[in-house]
Amino acid sequence: ADAVGLVVAADCPRGELDSAEDHAAGTGAAAFVLSESGDAEVVSRAEYAAEYPGTRFRRAGGDAVEGLGVTSYDRQAFTEALAGAVTQFEGVGADLDAAAVQAPDGKLPYRAAGALGVETETIQRAATVHELGDTGAASVPLGLAKALAQGDRRVLAASFGSGAGADALLVEVAGDGVASELAIDGGDAVSYAEYLRKRGEVTSGPPSGGGAYVSVPSWRRSLDQRHRLVAGRCPECGALNFPPEGACNACKTLVEEYEDVRLTGEGTVEAATVISQGGAPPEFAEQQAQSGDFGVVVVALEGPDGDSASVPAQVVGPASESLDIGDRVETTMRRIYTQEGVTRYGFKVRPT
């Protein structure tokens, strides 16, 4: 059997407010399945490195990408590194269908076209920066995915990393091509004020002195419930309880040890409400300030034998405010909140 591999690239650069890096920042991800019998083949590869410190960096402990802002220096570093890799392929630009070139912004890839020996139209054919912005490490993989989805047969993929280094691949497609699926169109426009709110620049965080404090050891003890949906079956009446502790919700018997039962992750909404500003528990106040109103439901999550346990859960996705009693939902892993510097993860629900 063929060996099979999976390659995934995802990035979301973030700059200081009103900086060139922030203006260009975008987000994206690409994934490729590799096998020995695939119709696309990497026929050549090359790399190049040069000393250009400071073109793009992130300070220790920070989360914002910065740069020196010296345009000529940045362009020289970008062009020299990429050209040093690409020119190792003799005559590569002559019959290229597309060139997926690293795009820190919408200008630099085209400024390097001459040094790379390719046409600007060839770069534009695989460009995603104009729709998605600077997608960082995902920039070239996204461009390659776009080119393959368009049916391009000979594609150059050239990535640039600050410092500066470059890697280049020459991909040739035979046969029926590569089965592809893209989702890079659409999106919702937001105002600058809404953008600031969503990235947390104008929120004050949880109210002081409030919140359901849960220590890390206590959170760890509940991971079977939060991650694996482990409920408990009452030894007296057989009812499912979630979480499996204390008195049984059905027969009120104080149970010392429940039988572990793993819920299926699917169920039916029993009650629904919407949390608005001022109504969120303190630990979720920042989430509400950034993302707006969110739905909370009580779900009858089903067990393996057809019975169920009533479980409260937050709703994710665009249907957050529109779930009604009787709707079918399924669980999905999500970030819950951050406390004591530790991000807590658990399940939320979404429509099936």
Closest CA to 7 of 25, 40, 36, 32: 32
How confident is the model at residue 196, as a pLDDT? 79
Taking 50 as the pLDDT cut, the residues of the chain under it are none
> Residue 34 is which amino acid?
L
Cβ neighbours around 210 below 10 Å, total? 11
How confident is the model at residue 282, as a pLDDT? 58
- Residue 108, classed as helix, strand or coil, is helix
How confident is the model at residue 289, as a pLDDT? 65
Pairing of strands 342-351, 328-339: antiparallel
Cβ neighbours around 90 below 10 Å, total? 8
How confident is the model at residue 34, as a pLDDT? 93
pTM here?
0.67
How confident is the model at residue 1, as a pLDDT? 59
Q: Give the tokens for residue 246.
A: 């204390």
**Helix residue spans in the chain (DSSP H):** 20-24, 71-86, 108-111, 113-116, 120-126, 129-132, 139-149, 192-198, 216-221, 223-228, 285-291
Secondary structure (DSSP) of 268-287: EEEEEEEE-TTTS-GGGHHH
How confident is the model at residue 7, as a pLDDT? 95
How confident is the model at residue 206, as a pLDDT? 53
